[in-house]
Amino acid sequence: MASTEMDIDPPLAESISPPPKPNAGSDVRTSTGAVAMRSIEGWIILVTNVHEEASEEDLQEVFGEFGEIKNLHMNLDRRTGYVKGYVLVEYSTQSSARAAIAGANGTKLLDQTIGVDFAFVRPPPNKKENGGSGGRGGRSTGGGTRKERERSKSPADGLKDE
């Protein structure tokens, strides 16, 4: 059975000072500018454009050199049995995940250039001119003035056709 202990990143020297402000720029950023987040288990990176015939050994060989791989998940197509095109690789430490992203992003794996970035991110704040709602999106209800749709009405009891 798997151990229930969680690996924790070692504290940095500057962590003795007060915690940084949310937008202080000390967060780990992805290539798109989003803030990388740690999952419950560890630091998970997403590898895209993986060749359909890539094996687990191929990926262990490429990503094992950046640190100890805690978990490697390859989604396979049920019909063909081939890799769907992406792989999730989990590392215990942030430094291993960052090294894998820096070292493997844009490299070739079985003649295909792979893309590597953090899997879990907090998106950068939107800078809208009107202030924006900052919500999750979805459809708008028109500012709370919702018009009820018309419903069909059943005929009155005395008006039935015989």
pLDDT tens per residue across span 49-60: 999 999 999 999
Q: Provide the pLDDT for residue 63.
A: 92
Residue 78, Cα to own-chain centre: how many angstroms?
Answer: 23
For residues 34 and 42, the answer to whether their CB atoms sit within 8 Å is: no
Burial class (CB in 10 A: 0-12, 13-18, 19+), 54: buried
- Residue 14 tokens read as 């500057």
* Beta-sheet strand order (sheet of 83-91): 69-76, 83-91, 43-48, 115-118
Distance, CA of 84 to CA of 31 (rounded, Å): 23
Q: Provide the pLDDT for residue 151.
A: 74
The DSSP bridge pattern shows strands 69-76 and 112-113 to be unpaired
Q: Provide the pLDDT for residue 5.
A: 65
Q: Provide the pLDDT for residue 34.
A: 74
Nearest by Cα to 85 from 46, 45, 39, 44: 46
Nearest by Cα to 109 from 80, 79, 89, 81: 89
User: pTM of the full predicted structure?
Assistant: 0.59
Model confidence band, residue 20 (pLDDT cutoffs 50, 70, 90): very low
Of all residues in the chain, what percent carry a pLDDT higher than 90? Answer: 39
| Better pLDDT: 138 or 92 | 92
* Placement of tokens 């992406």 in the chain: 86
| pLDDT reading at 118 higher than 70 | yes
